[in-house]
Amino acid sequence: MFGKGENGPPWDFPLDSPLDQQNITFPPSTESNAVETYPLPESMMHKGKKMSKIGVLVGGGTLVVACLLLFVFRFYKCDTDCPFDVPEENLEISVASSPSGLRHFRPAHTKFVRVNRRRSFAKKTRTPIGAKLYTVAELELATNSFNRTNFLGEGSLGTVFRGDFPDGQVFTVKCISTVALSLLEEQQFLEVIWNASHLRHPNIITLHGYCVEQGQHMLVYEYVRNLSLDHALHSEAYMPLSWGMRLKIALGIARALNYLHSICVPPLAHRNLKSANVLLDEDLIPRVSDCCLAILKPLTINSAKAEGSETVASEDIQPVSSYQKDDIYAFGVLLLELLTGKKAFDSGKEESSLVQWASSRLHDSESLDEMVEPALRKTIPPKALSRFADIVSMCTQGEKRLRPSISEIMESVTSMIEEYRKMRSADIDPYERSFRSTQSRTRFLGSPSATNMSY
């Protein structure tokens, strides 16, 4: 179009109109005058109508082709980048639908987010606060390519290695032997890390980092020396622990459980408490490991995936308080191990279960005294021994509702320690003095090989 004052008419005529037959000296003032004064030939009017129809058809066809090209472009881009739309309810799992039974999930709501399978799954979800994301290359370097010289042990979830990192720090690298995980199971794994990375307690081993890459699932924990309570109690390579030290170990474990059960929000449960999952540091302070990891067991190679899925589905119905009562039972078993020096389960004996073997002896004074590990006999006051047996009995009740809370147990053990100190201070306890003076030379000399350690 041309503006006022520019060369050319204020509108356009058809280019093929017979201008030579028109005597135009100046443009008409209105469009109606132009039509009346300069009528188009009838053939041109028919041709104009035909051209209008063709224009509509061409315009519509162009629009359809454009839409098809846009669709093909978007499809090709999706196929190249591999993103796909997934309802957020598949990623943000609600408490009711979560197969893991974890309790801190936000409620599900319908929102679509884009997930790229080519990128690390961990980068598409919330990063666990306090846990560092490692690459496989970094962990291979730290463990000398997972060499046997760095091997610490084999557990129910996988193998454990010592990791010496370039900055001089030493950590424990736990390789979780998982099967091929689905998108939901990957999210479940990261939710477990989210829970574990928030645990901060002096009697719980801290999760420092993790790795989710190339199908590998690894956890990086702070390093605690390679001595479990299981080996300290049941291996002949170690001298017996004193009664006072055993009470301190029991109190430390109780404090760890109390933290999980009562301090954490929402409350948690360990669900796999056993002597092999309690490590002892240089001062024999107990450090509970594998907190919150029991939910991963059905996802490991050692467990049948189909069976594991059924187990998770059925267990998810139980509230966390039920799992906490299971922790109380497990703690009672640990107390029995501390008292008797016997393993929780010994398939070579007629009464393979320690709880079954001890249940009929706990309330008989003569039988109770015979249950005590020989090295401890006559070092435990009768009253203290009776109270200890009562705690064991309450913890191992068949009905979960009859088992006490961990806070009640912690108070009872604390009271026992205070009374023991009054009757027999640590300075004159021959076992305490023996440990303090010989721990670096005699007591823990000749530890078992790493291949026998359990995690």
Kindly tell me if the per-residue pLDDT of 99 is higher than 90: no
Kindly tell me if the per-residue pLDDT of 249 is higher than 50: yes
Q: Which helix (H) or strand (E) holds 222?
A: strand 216-222
Tokens describing residue 274: 């056993």
Identify the structural domains of the chain with CATH numbers, from first to last.
Answer: 19-78 (no CATH), 89-222 (3.30.200.20), 229-452 (1.10.510.10)
Tell me how far CA of residue 393 lies from CA of 287, 336, 358, 405, in angstroms. 25, 10, 9, 13
- Residues near 233 by Cβ (< 8 Å), separated by ≥ 6? 241, 275, 337, 338, 341
Mean pLDDT of the chain: 75
Confidence of residue 51 (pLDDT cuts 50, 70, 90): low
Give the span between the Cα atoms of 48 and 8, in whole angstroms: 23
In terms of Cβ atoms closer than 10 Å to its own Cβ (0-12, 13-18, 19+), residue 348 is exposed
Q: Which helix (H) or strand (E) holds 338?
A: helix 320-340
Kindly tell me if the per-residue pLDDT of 92 is higher than 90: no
Kindly tell me if the per-residue pLDDT of 394 is higher than 80: yes
Query: Cα angle at 348 between 343 and 350, to 5 degrees?
Result: 95
For the stretch 109-142, pLDDT in tens is 333 333 333 344 444 455 445 689 999 999 999 9
Mean pLDDT check: name the lowest of 121-130, 164-173, 292-301, 313-322: 121-130
Tell me how far CA of residue 238 lies from CA of 403, 446, 450, in angstroms. 33, 8, 15
Q: How many residues comprise the chain?
A: 455
Give the span between the Cα atoms of 138 and 304, in whole angstroms: 31
Judge whether 396 and 359 are in contact, CB under 8 Å: yes
